[in-house]
Amino acid sequence: MAASRIARIVSATVNRIGSPAHRPVKPIPQSPLQAGGIGGVCALCLTPAAICLLIILSGCSRQPEANSEIVAQVGDRSLTRADLSKWEAALPQGEVTPQARSSLVQKWVEEEVLYQAALEKGLQNDPWVKERMDQLSRSLLTARYLDLEPARPKPPSLATVQSYFQTHGSEFVWPGLNFEVEFWRSGDRGALERLGSDLQRGRTPGTWSNPGSQPENSTVTLDERSTSPEIWRVVSGMRTGQVSALVSAQNSFWIFRILDRREAGQSQMLEDVSDDISARLIEENQRRQRDELVRSLTDRYRRSGKLRWLKELPITTPHDSAAATPGEE
């Protein structure tokens, strides 16, 4: 949790202080139905999760752990299998693929050669870098202090979540068309054709004599922003309860069944937003705790004489400065 919080602080600070070569990045896909699929290179974009990844790998040592195989090395810095294991442990189950691992190593090499080239030019002493490192250091230290100092708020009770939903229910609507979808995915066209035939007839899919040929089966929520265009074209025209024909996309065969179609502006149910409400309530509690902590620290520093605060400052405008200068209008 602390790493995630630090990642958000790093991301916010980088966005606030700017970058000479800043450019927007793509979001990380969340399911195999979304753009890019699982384990694509886009999983290494500079989102908070990717920043977590870079934080983990920034610990790659000049002296690798004993008996840990070196995967890549640039100068005196090494990336080991132990480093890769730390990264893989931070990923959701199912997203560790050979392609993702290869992309990670390539990304590490690219970042490391650029970093060492910057050190060779002495850019660690560049005023632009030093100013931003100071700001980043302040943000990280503050974030870590807040992680350690206040007691963590307890998750809100179900009754509290229900009460909040009843009071603020009008705020919770679907922002765009989206679906709850059950899908089956396989590289075996014949197997999915037989399954699709059963589904179209309302039959429950049978058991598979060979477990290795059993299609992947899962339920996901899809919207246009996060779903690959070729799949969105299929599901966006379907209604609740409808089963699709066989679909070929992303080097696999698919069948989709729409469990629920939610139109833009349609009210959300409590089960759709309970996690969001819990997160909102926890954030509000954390904000109150922070305010109380700041008030306590302010009082303590004032009593000790460490804080001097001139709250009522005279406002000087450009007009006032001009009027105060003799001989000028």
Q: pLDDT by residue (tens digit) across 153-194?
A: 789 999 999 999 999 989 999 999 999 999 999 888 887 888
In this prediction, residue 100 carries a pLDDT of 80
Q: What is the CATH number of the domain that holds 222?
A: 3.10.50.40
Residue 276 sits in the same domain as residue 245: no
CA distance 60 to 64: 8
66: tokens are: 């004993």
∠ CA 94-100-102 to the nearest 5 degrees? 140
Render pLDDT for 230-276 as a digit per residue (tens, 0 to 9). 999 999 999 999 999 999 988 889 999 999 999 999 999 999 899 99
* Residue 18 predicted with pLDDT over 70: no
Is the pLDDT reported for residue 70 higher than 50?
yes
Q: Are 18 and 12 in contact (CB under 8 A)?
A: no
Number of H helices and number of E strands within the chain? 10, 6
Handedness of CA 301, 302, 307, 311 (dihedral sign): positive
Alpha-carbon distances, residue 130 vs 115, 125, 192, 322 (angstroms): 15, 6, 58, 36
pLDDT in tens, 35-67: 444 233 333 344 444 555 555 555 555 555 666
Query: Last residue of some domain: 113, 148, 183?
Result: 148
Q: How far apart are CA 299 and CA 304, in angstroms?
A: 9
Q: State whether 32 and 83 are in the same domain.
A: yes
Q: ∠ at Cα 84 (142, 34), nearest 5°?
A: 85
State whether 278 and 177 are in the same domain.
no
Q: Check whether residue 305 and residue 165 sit in a common domain.
A: yes
More confident residue, 178 or 68: 178
275-35-114 Cα angle (round to 5): 100
What is the per-residue pLDDT for 17?
A: 47
SS3 state of residue 262: strand
Same domain, 232 and 305: no
Place of tokens 């909040």: 164
What pLDDT score does 127 carry? 94
Phi, psi dihedral angles at 217 (to 5 degrees): -135, 125
Are residues 54 and 126 part of one domain? yes
Average pLDDT over residues 201-216: 67
pTM: 0.53
Q: Which helix (H) or strand (E) holds 74?
A: strand 70-74
Rounded CA separation 11/16 (Å): 9
Query: What residue spans of the chain are helical by DSSP H?
Result: 2-17, 48-57, 81-89, 98-120, 127-148, 158-168, 189-200, 229-235, 270-303, 318-324
281 shares a domain with 257:
no
Q: What is the pLDDT of residues 80-133, one digit of tens each?
A: 888 888 887 877 766 677 888 888 888 889 999 999 999 999 999 999 999 999
In eight-state DSSP terms, residue 314 is P
Residues 197 and 274 occupy one common structural domain: no
**Closest to 113 measured CA to CA, from 71, 153, 162, 75:** 75
* Residue that terminates a domain, selected from 230, 262, 294: 262
Final residue belonging to a domain, choices 262, 288, 306? 262
Q: Tell me: do 118 and 84 sit in the same domain.
A: yes
Pair (312, 243) in one structural domain: no
Is 78 found in the same domain as 222?
A: no
pLDDT of residue 126: 95
Q: Are 269 and 278 in contact (CB under 8 A)?
A: no
| Domain count along the chain | 3
Number of C-beta neighbours around residue 64 at 10 A: 19
Q: Note whether 239 and 282 are same-domain residues.
A: no
Tell me which residue range forms the domain holding 9. 2-148
23 vs 126: which has the higher pLDDT? 126
Of the listed ranges 21-25, 161-165, 243-247, 323-327, the one predicted with least confidence: 21-25
